[in-house]
Amino acid sequence: MFIAMNQFQVNPDRAAEFEAVWRTRESHLQGFAGFRGFALLRGDDPGDYISHSTWASREAFLAWTQSDAFRQAHGGGMPEGIILGHPRARFYDAVIEEPAGGPRAGA
């Protein structure tokens, strides 16, 4: 499993607007080969958010970033002044996976 995350610092006064943009967006992720799931996470600190997508592999994620679906998903943008600074991208390969109700996988 591969995880791609972007950390956003959002203007706390516009957090509801930030969430609304994500809720109403066309993600273009469903049906893309290797896509496992997506979550938008809100942290305990005001304005702290992370977009979190899981993939079957790093290669599947990289294929997504080179696709027309990716360009369509990222074409709209966010209204000015909602995000403070640039998102911080973070990428992780799973070392151990332990699904609920199943055996642990990985080394």
Is 23 inside any structural domain?
yes
Most confident of 20-24, 41-45, 94-98: 41-45
Is 82 inside any structural domain?
yes
If you average pLDDT over residues 22-38, what whole number do you get? 92
If you average pLDDT over residues 7-33, what whole number do you get? 94
pLDDT score, position 45? 97
Give the list of residues 6+ apart from residue 35 with CB closer than 8 angstroms, or none: 29, 53, 54, 55, 56, 60, 64
pLDDT score, position 59? 97
Is 72 inside any structural domain?
yes
The CATH number linked to 43 is 3.30.70.100
pLDDT score, position 107? 55
Is 86 inside any structural domain?
yes
What would the pLDDT profile of 32-91 be if each residue is shown by its tens digit? 999 999 999 999 999 999 999 999 999 999 999 999 988 888 877 788 999 999 999 999
Is 69 inside any structural domain?
yes
Whole domain around residue 52: which residue ranges? 2-97
Rounding to the nearest 10 degrees, give the CA dihedral for residues 20, 30, 72, 65: 110
Rounded CA separation 75/77 (Å)? 6
pLDDT score, position 23? 94
Is 30 inside any structural domain?
yes
Rounded CA separation 103/85 (Å)? 41
If one counts the domains in the chain, the total is 1
Instruction: Specify whether the backbone of 43 is left (phi greater than 0), alpha (psi in -120 to 50) or beta.
Output: beta
Is 107 inside any structural domain?
no
pLDDT score, position 78? 84
Is 103 inside any structural domain?
no
pLDDT score, position 76? 73
